[in-house]
Chain A
């Protein structure tokens, strides 16, 4: 891997206004390759809006977004996914009438080929080579997140923690360079949180850069190498977990001015 100093993802002056108020204002963010970068802040600070801007779900009102130094601000979500920027959702969004395995297989869509004509030309009841590879990869990913036993269950019938795991597996099927996790452990018990943390660290070691928003502070402090703190749509602090813990402005944002005073 060549480290030429270009961050994997960079936003410059990213801004999103809704009816005069700015959900995200002038955000400059740099995410280095191979890191786990946490984006934290109180509810309503603009973290999810940042995710929506980065993944193309919302167009920015102003500012620019670069992946590997190439600008793609205002691009369509599926194009951004193809570039290797893939997200999960705060309120889990799975294809609930499809099985766990099928959910992950859909994730292979943009890394495989074959449209309507290919579908018509195949031999009925015989899986094509692409289909065999897709299935194999999906099975590996289910194994990876610990869902092998639930492969044929409908996604909508899985327990919440398993749904979150499945969403991560589906995102991984797209082969992301940058994986965005929006509160991936919300609603999980301490054991599950620990397992999820280990999974994220392992993914990072294998070369997937991660941007995570999370309210679970001990997890954030344990796994991330950089932290950016947002409040009222703006960046109020940035640094290593140790620096963030000592930052007075972060304390104020989280605990209120009276507590800080």
Chain B
């Protein structure tokens, strides 16, 4: 049997890969989001409610959480047509806070005291399948007609529009799809953590997902995957040393060092 500690690190790595890919999709169309934690919360709460209160099968509940987050993502994605760059980052940040405060006050899912007693359905095989499916999804989109249009929109919106690409469709669709995947990631997380409360899905979570994608290299799903692996495993490796209390300081310093040496990300392409 696998050591329980190693298994838990692997499961968190898998969940983080799904979350990083959920941000990679909008980023591949040039849409930066600091609100993925919010979509994750929607998926986590929805899926957990469905399995604990309504006894739905796990896979159906996961998809339910993804759909709910995806639907909210479509609505939040609409303003992204007019709001660009850093302003979109701030808008999504605000959205993430709204979601957190919503669940802080939403009685049916436990409000501030959180939602507990969630069954441990998320196992290593489940996470592995989820990661492979998400990677497959990104791979299939990338090499397709729609994938080329997404890249074109990221490179030059105006040029893409005047050759007949519907910006609304492309942007809202990738934003919604990314939100749906973040929702599935949230469902996976909830069924491993077994207890969720709004604080777990705050700004820090969104920022962590953001770091994974930037570190790995934007516009490249292999990069997002590697970024998630590094951000999850590096702090664990640092436990091996003596100075435990300096662990996260070391982690931060390493992130700074990586961004100085490779500002375009570990697997990104230099521009």
Contacts and interface: CB of A to CB of B under 8 A. Distances in A.
A95 B148 CA distance: 10
Interface stretch (B54-62, B115-123, B135-143, B204-212): B135-143
Nearest to A116: B146
What is the predominant secondary structure among interface residues of chain B facing chain A? helix
Contacts of B177: 116
Interface size, A (range): 35 or more
B159 A134 contact: no
A116 B145 contact: no
A145 to B, nearest CB: 15
B159 A93 contact: yes
Contacts of B271: 97
B164 A174 contact: yes
A87 B160 CA distance: 11
Interface residues of B, number: 30
Contact of B162 (A86, A94, A102, A119): A86
Contact of A106 (B137, B152, B167, B219): B152
Interface stretch (A76-84, A197-205, A229-237, A248-256): A76-84
Contacts of B269: 97
Interface in A90-124: 93-98, 102, 105-112, 114-116, 118-120, 122, 124
Given A57-B162, A78-B165, 10 more contacts: A78-B166, A81-B164, A82-B164, A95-B156, A95-B159, A106-B151, A110-B165, A124-B139, A134-B145, A174-B164
Interface of A: 55-57, 76-78, 80-82, 86-87, 89, 93-98, 102, 105-112, 114-116, 118-120, 122, 124, 130-131, 134, 170-171, 173-174
Interface of B: 136-137, 139-141, 144-149, 151-152, 155-156, 158-167, 173, 177, 219, 269, 271
15 contacts: A56-B162, A78-B162, A78-B167, A93-B158, A94-B155, A97-B269, A97-B271, A102-B148, A105-B148, A109-B165, A115-B173, A116-B173, A116-B177, A119-B145, A131-B144
